[in-house]
Amino acid sequence: MSKQTETFLQSVERTFDQAADLVGISQGLRHKIKVANSTYTVRFGVRLRGKLYTFVGYRSVHSEHMEPVKGGIRYSPHADQDEVEALAALMSYKCALVEAPFGGSKGALVIDPSEWEVHELERITRRFTQELAKRSLISQAQNVPAPDMGTGEREMAWMADEYKRLNPDDLNPWACVTGKPVNKGGIRGRVEATGRGVQYALREAFRHPEDIEIAGMTGSLEGKRIIVQGLGNVGYHAAKFLSEEDGSIISCVIEHDGAVIDDDGINIEELRAHIIANGGVTGYAGYTDDSAACLAKDCDIMIPAAMEGVITKSNADSVKAKMIIEAANGPVTFTADQMLRDRGCVIIPDLYANAGGVTVSYFEWVKNIGHIRFGRLQRRQEERKTNLMVDAIEQMVGKTFPQNVIDELVAGPTELDLVRSGLDDTMRAGYRVISEKWHSDERIPDLRTAAMMISLERIMDSYNSLGI
């Protein structure tokens, strides 16, 4: 889509250049950080259906200023080197911004998963893992993949298992990938982490009325009309949480086969069930096949959560959203971004907005290396201490706490509570620093440039400490 105008990689690099001009960085280091350190293309054969099929996979390592490097693996028939390098670069900037101690990487397998049976996908994934492992492109100490478009817990479990077979004497084999099922070393709250992070990011944005006013809005998320593009992992969770917990109205969902419109608010659970049963939104109440017109529908907030390059210079003028939060990577091209900004639209950029996934992946990796569930040691001790305090207060004032308050107060934190707390803290802190940066200097045009500047400054400092 974007490839006819500016490629995804060009868009990321133009944002980088704009930020680098403002940061003031030596030409040498600027070039070093901008380009990918390496990109491997692997081609491997798998015998399936009585025939040998050759598959093409990529793993790009953008920056190794911190190791391991981290980034998802997507399964997509459209994946190519340009896309993988753009995504790997975004991972470096994203990790630096949310202080996840990783460099950036990304991978892809050129495949349409819907064309293969589950047992075939497993064989392909295991062969791909072997190719990656041979080159240390999957390793708990050097390169840690995660799910992305077209992959999920299932693929991560296969990868971890294959890596474990190849490295039977490794003490921490489960740390080689994140986004695994909980019964295979995963962490509670990872599946929904990116969508949950989008919700927390929006909540924090609405705690900054000055930013919300620039977008032409007031008040809270309650009653705000939202268009969501892509009801996959990220889009589904963001839409579900915002509608169920914040009172936002999901007025339109755009999917690969059309869109659904309901100005009173779409029931996200019902629509998701319809998509799972039917493979798309076709046939659901309020269905239209005119997805392009839906991007131009009136709304307060748009959440592109499908893919890159969906808002370009050819349709940016028609987009009416007051705020866009980039749940997907690279949905708004560099040129479209400028056009939207000129008419007052505030864009919460991908490198911050969808960082919830890597944040919780970081917690999962720490859990795998620590070999213990978060909260396991302290939960009951905290429960006991709070019980003591409640008893003491009740004795002193001669009154009893309502039971529902006691239940909440006394329960020590579960792993999920701690994951959510860490994610919320990360998303709040992230928004605060980029908003502050944006308003600190009138030459900084928007949140995206501010976020990129912060990432760049941190990576620059890291390289400088290494003496590079």
Cβ atoms of residues 119 and 154 within 8 Å: no
What sign does the dihedral 107-109-112-115 (CA atoms) show?
negative
If binding means CB under 6 A, how many residues of this protein chain bind ligand NAD? 23
Tokens of 195: 């969508």
Binding mask 292-321 for ligand NAD (x = CB under 6 A): -------------xxx--------------
Q: Kindly give the interhelix angle for 268-278 and 233-245, rounded to the nearest 10 degrees.
A: 160
- Tell the smallest beta-carbon distance from residue 401 to ligand NAD (Å): 39
Residue 256 engages ligand NAD in binding (rule: CB under 6 A): yes
Give the span between the Cα atoms of 50 and 53, in whole angstroms.
10
User: By CB under 6 A, is residue 329 in contact with ligand NAD?
Assistant: yes
**Phi/psi of residue 54, nearest 5 degrees:** -105, 130
At its nearest, how many Å lie between ligand NAD and the CB of residue 41? 20
Is residue 68 reached through a cis peptide bond, with omega within 30 degrees of 0 on the bond before it? yes
Binding of residue 234 to ligand NAD (CB under 6 A): yes
**Among residues 70, 106, 322, 437, which one is catalytic?**
106
Closer Cβ to ligand NAD, 214 or 234, answer by number:
234
List, in sequence order, every residue forming a beta bridge with 105; answer none if it has no partner. Answer: 61
* 105/82 Cα distance (integer angstroms): 13
255 lines the binding site for ligand NAD (CB under 6 A): yes
Q: Given the rule CB under 6 A, which of 160-168, 253-261, 363-371, 418-426 is the region that contacts ligand NAD? A: 253-261
Torsion angles phi and psi, residue 267, rounded to 5: -80, 105
150 is a site residue for ligand NAD (CB under 6 A): yes
Rounded to a whole number of angstroms, the minimum distance from the CB of residue 172 to ligand NAD is 22
Among the listed residues 13, 148, 211, 300, the single contact to ligand NAD using CB under 6 A: 148
Residue for token pair 């392009």: 292
Is there a contact between 95 and 173 (Cβ–Cβ < 8 Å)? no
Determine, following the binding rule CB under 6 A, whether residue 147 of this chain makes contact with ligand NAD: yes
Q: How far apart are CA 398 and CA 58, in angstroms?
A: 67
* Smallest separation (angstroms) from ligand NAD to the CB of 306: 4
430 scored as a contact of ligand NAD (CB under 6 A): no
Give yes or no for a contact between 302 and 248, defined as CB atoms under 8 angstroms apart.
no
Indicate the residue whose CB is closest to ligand NAD. Answer: 232
In 3D space, the residue among 296, 153, 308 whose CA is nearest the CA of residue 230 turns out to be: 308
91 is a site residue for ligand NAD (CB under 6 A): no
Task: Identify which of residues 185 and 230 has a Cβ nearer to ligand NAD in the complex.
Answer: 230
CB 280 within 8 A of CB 257: yes
Asked whether position 359 contacts ligand NAD by CB under 6 A, the answer is no
Place of tokens 């003591």: 388
Taking CB under 6 A as the criterion, the residue among 233, 368, 435, 455 binding ligand NAD is 233
Which one of 95, 231, 450, 453 is in contact with ligand NAD (CB under 6 A)? 231
226 SS3 class: strand
Our answer to whether residue 106 is catalytic in this structure is: yes
The reply on whether position 73 binds ligand NAD by CB under 6 A is: no
Beta-carbon neighbour count of residue 213 at 10 Å?
11
**Can residue 89 be called a binding residue for ligand NAD (CB under 6 A)?**
no
As measured in angstroms, the least distance from the Cβ of 311 to ligand NAD is 12
State the catalytic residues: 106
In the complex, which residues of this chain contact ligand NAD (CB under 6 A)?
A: 147-150, 194, 229-235, 254-256, 305-307, 327-329, 354, 357
